[in-house]
Amino acid sequence: MTSNWDQRLWDTIAAVPPGRVASYGQIAAMAGLARGARRTAAALRNAPDELALPWYRILRADGRIAFEPGSAAFERQCALLMAEGVELRAGRVDLGRYRWRGNDSPLLD
DNA sequence: GTCTTGACTAAGC
DNA sequence: GGCTTAGCCAAGA
């Protein structure tokens, strides 16, 4: 068994509640990896569809989508986020409002 | 064993 | 706001 990180990261990602987002580094830190942002990305690549992970709730540290604007994945992620009530401005999310803090506190508006 | 790679991040210009 | 550079660290080749 080389990497149980994938499973751990998947678990952490699955814990992100709807309408909330998290950064790669944040997910990694919660899973126990201090600088595992890239490992989080790898875990998402490795993640089978059967898990139905909320991969679209994972953003870059800036709150921007990791994909290139215009790409299929980008648009898919945009749509999924908006469907959950996340406000997107030019492919960017306001982390100050939507970042998941590990608890399920409601958004203040 | 080394070298490259990456759905990243922070700092600097 | 943008682009560049360096740092990071685990996985694969």
Residue A2, pLDDT above cutoff 50: no
Residue A21, pLDDT above cutoff 90: yes
Q: Which two tokens stand for residue A76?
A: 């898919």
Q: Output the pLDDT for position A11.
A: 94
3-state helix/strand/coil string of chain A: CCCCHHHHHHHHHHCCCCCCEEEHHHHHHHHCCCCCHHHHHHHHHHCCHHHCCCHHHEECCCCECCCCCCCHHHHHHHHHHHHCCCCEECCEECHHHHECCCCCCCCCC
Please give the share of chain A, as a percent, with pLDDT higher than 70: 91
User: Does the C-beta of A74 come within 7 A of strand B?
Assistant: no
User: Does the C-beta of A5 come within 7 A of strand C?
Assistant: yes
Kindly report the bases of strand C lying within 7 A of a protein C-beta atom: 1, 8-12
Mean pLDDT along residues A25-37: 93
Mean pLDDT along residues A58-79: 94
Please tell me the pTM assigned to this model: 0.92
Q: Output the pLDDT for position A85.
A: 94
Residue A99, pLDDT above cutoff 70: yes
